[in-house]
Amino acid sequence: MVEQHRVVGVVGLGSLGLSVLRALDAGGVRVIGVDSDPEVVAAVRPWAGSAEVSGELETLGEADVVVEAVSEEFEGKAEVLRRLGALCPRVTALVTTTGALSVPALAVASGRPAQVVGVRFAVPASPRAGAAVVPTTMTAPEAVSAAEDLVPLLGRTLAPRGTDTAVARELLLPYLGRAAALHEAGYASCEDIDTAMRLGCGLPAGPLEMLDAVGVDTVHRELADLHRRTGLPYHRPPAALERMIGSGRLGRKSGQGFYTYDAAGLRIAPAAPDRAPESAPAVEHVGVVGTGTMARGIAQALV
């Protein structure tokens, strides 16, 4: 049981890793957060509560559970899991938060396949959003139990076993890409696109807000992989994402994406106002034809 663990480690203190660390700390769990970037460690410390924050992986040598939350790249995740496998006791559960990579492949690469288990978080995050535990045929029952006990401490519901979050993510990614392309074409501002989807479709978050949360680089990489596998035009990542990556605007984890964020990952302002110029004629009367969900959302937004 996670409640009985003395130490839980979190490796990678971006938006996901920091949220995991803070949730565990709020639940009374002793947590040690580790990030290889000294600037990230310094920025996170004021927001870490009573959790310990370090730049050294060796501080996790006695951890009972370690959550890997580094960038969504196979080699990076595999290297962290390999180092943890060599460092931590044989009974330590190694939980990878990969959203799209193969958990079995990461388990084999770790050198400790019996202790590696995946936890995939539903996107977008909301009070109803769950998390699916993804074991492999090699995972020991104790590691699966540790991951299942961890999920409620993070404020998430445990999705039933067999829930295919990878399929859901492949449906989500093109939606995020099309929203970025819509904004790139100048049809609407970030705020307008997100507000329309929240109010018009009843979503807990708009697509550009979600894209910032997932990570601009992650969405670009996974869309590019989808496009390579399918050849479908709507899987091709929009050029805007590549430009944002080139300028370091990676979303919430870098403090700047479609919106701007503070050190705690809280949104503070749109990245740039792109509404119609002040000289545009004022709209005073609008008619909405229809009474369905979309029509009601549009009417509510206008009012």
Q: Are 144 and 182 part of one and the same domain?
A: no
Query: Which pLDDT score is estimated for 51?
Result: 93
Question: What is the DSSP pairing of strand 267-270 with strand 259-261?
Answer: antiparallel
Residue pLDDT, tens place only, 145-197: 999 999 998 888 887 766 555 666 778 889 999 999 999 998 889 999 999 88
Residue 11 lies in a domain: yes
Q: Are 48 and 92 part of one and the same domain?
A: yes
Residue 303 lies in a domain: no
Residue pLDDT, tens place only, 24-53: 999 899 999 999 999 889 988 888 889 999
Q: Are 203 and 120 part of one and the same domain?
A: no
Residue pLDDT, tens place only, 185-235: 988 899 999 998 888 887 778 999 989 888 898 888 888 888 888 888 989
Q: Are 150 and 189 part of one and the same domain?
A: no
CATH (domain of 275): 1.10.1040.10
The total number of structural domains that make up the chain: 2
What is the spatial distance between Cα 118 and Cα 102, in angstroms, rounded to a whole number? 9
Compute the average pLDDT of residues 88-103: 90
Q: Are 45 and 82 part of one and the same domain?
A: yes
Q: Which domain holds residue 58?
A: 2-158
CATH (domain of 48): 3.40.50.720
Helices marked H in 92-247 — which ranges? 103-110, 141-153, 165-184, 190-201, 207-214, 216-230, 239-246
Q: Are 187 and 104 part of one and the same domain?
A: no
- Whole-model pTM? 0.67
